[in-house]
Amino acid sequence: MENRKEEKITLLPRRLFLRLAALALAAVLALGLTACDSNGGHIVKPSTGASQPFEMHFIDVGQALSVLVECDGQFMLYDGGNVDDGSLVVSYLQKQGVEQLQYVFCSHAHEDHVGGLAAVMAKFPAGHAYSPVTESSTKCFNDFVKYTRQQGLQLEVPSVGTVWPLGNATVTMLGPVTQYSETNNTSLVLRIDYGNTSFLLTGDMENTAETDLVNSGANLKADVLQVGHHGSSTSTGYLFLNAVLPEMGVISCGTGNKYGHPHEETLSILRDAKVDVYRTDLQGTITIGSDGQNFTVGTEHFVPDSQLNPTDPSSSSTAQQAYIGNVNSKKFHLPTCANLPAEKNQVPFSSYDEAIAAGYTPCASCIK
C-alpha cells in the first residue's frame, strides 16, 4: 500500500466540454450526435480517501489482463492473466479480502486471459464461471475447466442481454453479438453500471466485433473503458470509441512487450478523444473507485507480502504456506526440504493444487 497514490477525478468540466464539442460537431455536420449522456453529469464531492463501495482493480499482470470488480462486499473476476500470474492474482485477491467470487469470467480462450484462472478456481469458491466456449485445445484452458469442475460447477456460455447483480451494481452482457472464428473477437463484452457511473470490459475484442456491437444498438456509452487488446491498433476504432465516449481508458500491457502494445495509433485516437489514459506497464495496478457519482483513481506497484519479506513469520501468506515454489526451476517443495531455493526466488503456495495450477511441478525428493 505504501506506493499507492490517490487522485481525485473531476468529471464535470470534461462532460461539459464533450457535450459542447459534440454539439458543435453536430451543428457543423448537421448530424444528431446522441452518444453524449444526458444524466446531467456527475456531482463532484470531496474525497474522503476511504475505499469506495464500488472498485474496479486492473491488476498489473504484465502483458495480460486481470480485472477484479468489488461492489458492496461482493466480488467478480474478469480474466486471470497468464499461468505464471496465477499466484500473484490469488495473493492480490486475498489482500482485497476476497473469500469467494460471485462470478468468474474468462473473456476468451487465450492464455494471457484464462491462464491464471485455474489457480483462482483452485483457491476461491465461485458462484458461476463463464466463458465464450466450453472447450479449447490448450492446457491452460483445460486446467481452468478442471478446477471449475472440482468445485462442482460447469462452465457456462452466457447470452447477450443477461444481467447479473453485484451488490448494488449491475453487470450486463453486451457481446459478442454473433459468432467469430477469430478468438479475440469472441471476447465477452460486459457493461457494468453503478449509480450514475459506468464501465466497459472488452477483453481483446477487435474492430470487426466492435463495429458489429455498435450496429447492434447496444448501450455502449461508458465513463471507463478497458481499452481492447492491450492497446493494439486492431481495436478501439473511431466508430466504437465515439459510441463509448469514455472519460478514462485503462490499458493493461507489459513493459517492453514484444507486440509494441499499446500502439501509437491507439494512443493517438484516445488523445484526440480527450480520454485520460492509465497504463499498467507505467503505473502498475490501477484501481478506479466510484461512489455512484464521482471517481477516485489509485495506482500501486503490488508486491505480494512474501516477496517483500519471505522470512517474516507474521506475514500471513508465509505463516500459512504449505509449499514453497522456486520461481526459476518452477518446482515446489515442502518448507522442510533440503533443496529450498534462495529466499529471493521463493514463492509460497497454500496448497498442492494451487502450486500445480500455477504451473509448478512437485520436487521429487520431498513430495512423494
Tell me which residues touch Zn ion (CB under 5 A).
110, 112, 184, 204
Distance (Å) of CA 35 to CA 19, 23, 146, 205: 9, 11, 43, 21
All 3 cell numbers of residue 69?
470488480
Distance CA 165, CA 279 (A): 28
C-alpha cell at 18: 464533450
CA distances 187 to 210, 263, 339, Å, are: 11, 20, 43
Minimum Å distance from CB 354 to Zn ion? 24
Distance of CA 308 to the CA centre of its chain: 24
| Least distance (Å) between residue 307 CB and Zn ion | 25
Angle at 85 between CA 296 and CA 119, to 5 degrees: 105
Residue 138 or 320 with smaller CB distance to Zn ion: 138
The smaller minimum CB distance to Zn ion, of residues 234 and 307, is found at: 234
CB of 226 to Zn ion, least distance (A): 11
- Between CA 160 and CA 183, with CA 240 as vertex, the angle to 5 degrees is 55
Q: Buried b vs exposed e over 3-22: b needs ≥16 C-beta within 10 Å?
A: eeeeeebebeebbeebbeeb
Q: Which is nearer to Zn ion, 85 or 223 (CB)?
A: 85
Lateral strand order in the sheet of 323-326 = 346-349, 323-326, 331-333, 361-362
Which CB, 62 or 310, lies closer to Zn ion? 62
Return the number of the residue (166 or 267) whose C-beta is nearest Zn ion: 267
Name the amino acid, one letter, at 166. Answer: L
Task: Locate 74 and state its grid cell.
Answer: 461482493
Supply the minimum distance, in Å, between the C-beta of residue 107 and Zn ion.
Answer: 8
Nearer to Zn ion, 10 or 138 (CB): 138
Closer residue to Zn ion in complex, CB, 95/139: 139
Question: Minimal distance in Å, beta carbon 130 to Zn ion?
Answer: 16
Q: Is 324 helix (H, G, I), strand (E, B) or coil?
A: strand
Are 172 and 198 in contact by the 8 Å Cβ rule? The answer is no
The residues facing 296 across adjacent strands are 8, 289
* 108 vs 123 by CB, closer to Zn ion: 108
In whole angstroms, the minimum distance from the beta carbon of 232 to Zn ion comes to 9
Contacts of 54 (CB under 8 A, 6+ apart): 69, 70, 71, 72, 167, 168, 169, 194, 195, 197, 289, 290, 291, 292
Nearer to Zn ion among residue 55 and residue 204 (C-beta): 204
Shortest Cβ 357–Zn ion spacing (Å): 20
**Shortest Cβ distance from residue 113 to Zn ion (Å)?**
6
**How many beta carbons lie within 10 A of that of residue 153, not counting itself?**
17
End-to-end CA distance of the chain: 39
CB 16 within 8 A of CB 40: no
Min CB(13)–Zn ion separation in Å:
34
Give the number of other CB atoms < 10 A from CB of residue 82.
Answer: 24
Minimum CB–partner distance for residue 233 and Zn ion (Å) = 14
**Which lies closer to Zn ion via its Cβ, residue 63 or residue 94?**
63
